[in-house]
Chains A and B, each alone.
Chain A
C-alpha cells in the first residue's frame, strides 16, 4: 500500500536562470570594491597619488634652479623657515632637491614600468603565438638574462652606455622584461590550443583581435600585479644605481643620489639623510602595500 504521493511523478526540471555577467566594467568595479576594503592598500594608493601630483606640480612650487643652484654661504644649513629641509654640502636647497628628485625617481619608476610592460607583453605575445624554434631561442635567451642579478646587469649596461636618466631606464627595464614576457607567453599558450581560437581565426579575426579579446583578460591580473611590483623595484634600482654613483648625472637630483651625498656629513647633519631617506621609505612602502592589495583584490582567496 502506498499513499498517493509516493507515486506522484516529480515536476519538470525547473530552469534556474543564473546571471553570469561577463561585462568588463562590473569586474573592474568588483576589484575596486575589494581594494577599497584594504585600508593599508588605500593608504598606499593615496600616498603615491599625492606624491605623483606634487611631483607633477613641482615647477609651480619652486623653480628647478633652486635644486641645482649652489650657494656656499648656505652650506649645510639646518632646516629653517626659508629652507624647509635645510641645505646640502653645496648650499643647495634640500627641499627643492627632494622635490625634483621625486620627479626623477617617479618618472623613472612609472615610465620604465610602462615601457617594460608594453615591450615585454608584445614580445611575450609574439613568442607565445609563434612558438617553435623562435620561442625556444628567445626563452633560452631570457633565461640567460635572468641568470644575471639585475643590479649587476644594470651596472654593466650603465658601464657600457654611460650614466644618465635614459641609460639607467634602459638598463633597468632590460632586467625586468623577462618576467613580463613569461606572463604573457603563458597566457597565450594557455588558450592557444583552445578550439574557440581556431573558430575565431576561421571566422576572420585578426591576430590582434584575438590577442586583445582572449589573451589579454587572462593575463591582465598577473600583469597588473607585476607592473605595480615593478614600479617600486625600478625606483629602488634607480636609487641604488644613483647611490653607487652610476645613475643620474650630477647635479641632477635623485633620491638615491641624495642619500649618497648625505653620507659625507652624516654625523653632523643627519637631516641630509632623513629627508630623502624618508621619501624613499614611504614611497617604497606605499607601492609595496598597494601592490599587495591589488594582488589580493584581483585574486581573492579569503584568508580567514
Chain B
C-alpha cells in the first residue's frame, strides 16, 4: 500500500517539473528585465546591468530555469517582486491562507448543499423536490462565480447591508465568496450525485438486499450510498481545478487579499516573479489535491485497495 502512495508521489515530480518549466517558458516572453523593474525608472544603466548580472538574467534560458528551480526547491526563494521589492515566497505565503480559506469554504458549502439534495432527488425521482432541485442545479451550475457573487453583493451587501462588500475584515467577509463560489460547484455536485445514485439504485446488489428482506431505507442507505458516493468524491476533487479558476475571480470581486488577486495584479503590473511563483504554487496545490483524491479513492474502494495491498482472486 505504501509503495503505491510512494509511487504516486514520485510520479508527481515530473509533473511538477513539467508545469514549472511550462509556466517559466511562457512567462519568459513578457518583455522587461529584472534590473530595470527592481531599480525603477530613474536607475542608472550601469546599476541595472550589474543587478541583471547578479540575478543571472543574461545567462541562457535553460540555465536561468535551472537556477530558478534550484532556488525555489532548496532555498524556497522564488525571486523578488518588482512591485513590492519583497521576496515573492513571503508574499505568496502571506496570501495563500486567504485563498485556501475561500476555496475550502466553497467546497464544504457545495458538498453540504449538493450531496444531500442530490441523494434526495435521486430517491424521489421525478417528484417536485427532484424537479425543483435539478432545475435549480442546472441553472446554477452553468453560471460563473463572479456573476453570482455580484448579484449577492448587490442584494446582501449594498441593499441589505448584512455583509461587507469587500475586504477581509472578519468571518463575515468570507460568507458571500463562499456562496458565490460554492453555488455553481454545488449545482454540479447535486447533478452528479443524483445521476450516480440513480445508477447505483438500479444495480443488482440493491435488489439482492431487498430480496434479503431489507426495507427501502437500509437498501438505499447501506448499500447504494457508499457505492454511489465514491465517484462523487472523485469528481468533487477533480473539479477543484475549476474551483481555483473561479476563486481567482471571486477574490478579485470581493477584494480579498488572496493569492489569486495577487497574481492578477502581478500580471497587470508585469511583475514576472510574482506571476511565475504564484501560478506555479497554485498549480502545485492543484496537483496535490488530485493526488489526494486519487489516494483517498484507493483507501475507500476495497477493489482498488486490494489491488495494491496484494489481495488477488482465488
Contacting B18 at CB < 8 Å: which of A147, A157, A280?
A: A147
Judge whether A221 is part of the interface by a CB distance below 8 angstroms.
Answer: no
Q: What separation, in Å, do the CA atoms of A80 and B78 have in the docked complex?
A: 54
- With a cutoff of 8 Å between Cβ atoms, the chain B residues found around residue A259 in the complex are 146-147, 150
Does A159 interact with chain B (Cβ within 8 Å)? yes
Given contact pairs A152-B248, A243-B146, A147 touches B26 in the complex (Cβ within 8 A): no
Q: Which residues of A contact B144 (CB under 8 A)?
A: 236, 239-240, 243, 256, 280, 284
Which residues of A sit under 8 angstroms from B151, Cβ to Cβ? 273, 277
Determine, out of B43-51, B113-121, B220-228, B262-270, the stretch whose residues face the partner at the interface. Answer: B262-270
The answer to whether A149 and B267 touch across the interface, beta carbons within 8 angstroms, is: no
What sequence of 0s and 1s flags, for each residue 134-176 of chain B, a beta carbon within 8 Å of any chain A beta carbon? Answer: 0000110111101100110110001100000000000000000
**Given A149-B283, A288-B138, A289-B138, A244-B143 contact (CB < 8 Å):** no
Chain B residues near A191 (CB, 8 Å)? none
Decide if B252 is an interface residue (CB 8 Å cutoff): yes
On chain A, the residues within 8 Å of B263 by CB distance are 152, 155
Q: Are A156 and B26 in contact (CB under 8 A)?
A: yes
Contact B138 A244 (CB under 8 A): no
User: Given A151-B244, A152-B279, A155-B279, is A262 in contact with B150 using a C-beta cutoff of 8 Å?
Assistant: yes
Q: Please, how many angstroms separate the alpha-carbon atoms of A245 and B268 in the complex? A: 8
Residue of A nearest to B155 (CB): A270
Q: For the complex, give the distance between the alpha carbons of A283 and B303 in Å.
A: 42
Does B304 touch A at the CB level, under 8 Å?
no
Known: A147-B19, A155-B264, A243-B146. A270 touches B154 (CB 8 A): yes
Q: A159 near B275 (CB under 8 angstroms)?
A: yes
For the complex, is A161 an interface residue (Cβ under 8 Å from B)?
A: yes
**Smallest Cβ distance from A143 to chain B, in angstroms?**
7
**For B154, what are the chain A residues with a Cβ–Cβ distance below 8 Å?**
266-267, 270, 273
- The reply on A113 being an interface residue by CB < 8 A is no
Label chain A's interface by main secondary structure.
helix
Distance in angstroms between the alpha carbons of A179 and B188 in the assembled complex: 19
Does A246 lie at the interface of the complex (its beta carbon under 8 Å from any beta carbon of B)?
yes
A263 within 8 A of B: yes
Q: Nearest Cβ distance between residue B191 and chain A, in whole angstroms?
A: 9
Q: A273: which B residues are within 8 A, CB to CB?
A: 150-151, 154
Residues of chain A contacted by B245 (CB below 8 angstroms): 149-152, 237, 240
**In which size bucket is the chain B interface?**
35 or more
Q: Which of B1-39 contact A (CB under 8 A)?
A: 14-15, 18-19, 22-23, 26-30
Known: A236-B144, A281-B143. Is A157-B287 also a contact (CB below 8 A)? no
Contact yes or no, A285 B139, CB < 8 A? yes
Distance in angstroms from B30 CB to nearest chain A CB is: 6
Cβ-closest chain B residue relative to A162: B30
Is B142 in contact with A155, judged by CB distance below 8 angstroms? no
Check B22 against A285 for contact (C-beta < 8 Å): no
Q: Is the CB of A232 within 8 A of B279?
A: no
Digit string of B240-258 for contact with A (CB within 8 Å is 1, else 0)?
A: 0110111011001100000
How far is the CB of B140 from the nearest CB of chain A, in Å? 9
User: CB < 8 Å: which of A140, A239, A244, A263 contacts B264?
Assistant: A244
Indicate if A287 sits at the interface (CB-CB under 8 A): yes
What per-residue 1/0 map shows which CB atoms of A124-150 lie under 8 Å from chain B? 000000000000000011011101111
On whether A266 and B150 interact (CB within 8 A), knowing A148-B286, A156-B26, A284-B144, the answer reads yes
| Nearest-neighbor residue (CB-CB) of B252 within chain A | A244
Contact of A158 with B19 in the complex, beta carbons under 8 Å: no
Q: Is B23 touching A148 in the complex (CB atoms < 8 A)? A: yes
CA distance A126 to B59 in the complex (A): 37
Query: Given the complex of chains A and B, what is the CA–CA distance between A245 and B286 in angstroms?
Result: 24
Q: Is the CB of A160 within 8 A of B19?
A: no
Task: Verify B249–A158 contact, CB threshold 8 A.
Answer: no
Most buried by B among A148, A273, A292: A148
Q: CB-CB < 8 A to A144: which residues of B?
A: 15, 18-19, 22
CA distance A21 to B279 in the complex (A): 53
Which residues does chain B contribute within 8 Å of A213, judged by CB atoms? Answer: none
Bound-state CA distance A26–B74 (Å) is: 64
User: Is A8 positioned at the interface, with any CB of B under 8 Å from its CB?
Assistant: no
Assess whether A149 is in contact with B15, with CB atoms less than 8 Å apart: no
Chain B: minimal CB distance from A147 (Å) = 5
B237 to chain A, nearest CB (A): 13
Chain A nearest Cβ from B196, distance in angstroms: 13
Q: Which residues of B contact A140 (CB under 8 A)?
A: 14, 18
Contact A159 B147 (CB under 8 A): no
Residue from A147, A155, A288 in contact with B15 in the complex, judged by beta carbons closer than 8 Å? A147
**Chain B min CB distance to A13 (Å):** 35
Q: In the complex, which of the residues A149, A156, A281, A288 contacts B241, with contact meaning CB atoms closer than 8 Å?
A: A149
7 new A-B pairs (CB below 8 Å) besides A144-B15, A277-B150?
Answer: A148-B286, A150-B241, A161-B29, A246-B264, A281-B143, A285-B142, A289-B138
Give residues in A with beta carbon < 8 Å to B. 140-141, 143-145, 147-152, 155-161, 232, 236-237, 239-240, 243-246, 256, 259, 262-263, 266-267, 270, 273, 277, 280-281, 284-285, 287-289, 292, 303
Binding site for A on B (CB under 8 A): 14-15, 18-19, 22-23, 26-30, 138-139, 141-144, 146-147, 150-151, 153-154, 158-159, 198, 241-242, 244-246, 248-249, 252-253, 263-264, 267-268, 270, 275, 279, 282-283, 286-287, 290
| Complex A-B: 7 CB contacts under 8 Å | A147-B286, A147-B287, A149-B241, A159-B26, A160-B27, A266-B150, A284-B143
Question: What 6 A-B pairs come out closest when comparing CB atoms?
Answer: A151-B245, A144-B18, A288-B142, A267-B158, A160-B29, A284-B142
